[in-house]
Structure 1
Amino acid sequence: MGKIRETMNRFLQGRYGYDELGKLLLIVGVVFYFLGTIFRSSTISLLGSLVMFYELFRLLSKKHWDRGEENRKYLKYKKLWKLRFEERSTSRIFLCKSCGKFIRVPKGKGKIQITCPTCGHSSVHRT
């Protein structure tokens, strides 16, 4: 038993591992797989399996930088949607396309031009 454990530890050394995006992919994959099983849809089950295989690929990848970038992008958009949900009654929150900062604008002002206070990039949005 110790030899198997040692072999597994050597194999997993240097691998990326588990992160927030991995949790989401695993949950989505399992849900799609079971929905496909319940509704007897091979397409939905296949989609769930593909998502879980992609999570396994990410888990065993040695490209730490690429997997870390994917996770950082996911976390940024997760934060954006969380802010949008919390502020949904009073504000609209936009992401600056130039610098990536969050811009909070009062809701109900119509179509306005928004200028980022950090980088000065401007864009037109509906509030």
Structure 2
Amino acid sequence: MHDGGPSELDPRGGLLKAELDLGNEEETDPLLEELKIDARRDALSLTDYEWIAESLELGGRLKEALRWFTIPLREVDPLDVDPAETVCLNGRYRVRRTLGMPMDAYDDVVADSVREGVRAQLEDR
């Protein structure tokens, strides 16, 4: 998977999605372990986390998706989320709602943002 060329996305994210789509658990789990090693080394981009998490979410592996959406947010104050991090924040919110989990500080940020957006749209009418 390492051809030496520059890439914004780790190609293993696409491979993970393909394996999940095909239901190849015997290929998916070792690939996730490789990605976890790189996550611990801080060798993945925010976009990689999003891609991995969304692939897991679409594959029905919600608890794992939640973990991958949360990893890049661990050191982030919920009240100081960078716009680039909102994709993981929104995915995390979506998965937590599906799992029936209670709201937390990160979820409150998403809910407040949605409310503000709706209010702004109503005011523009």
TM-score by length of 2: 0.26
Q: Which has the higher helix share?
A: 2
TM-score by length of 1: 0.25
Richer in strand (by share): 1
Higher relative contact order (CA 8 A, sep 6+): 2
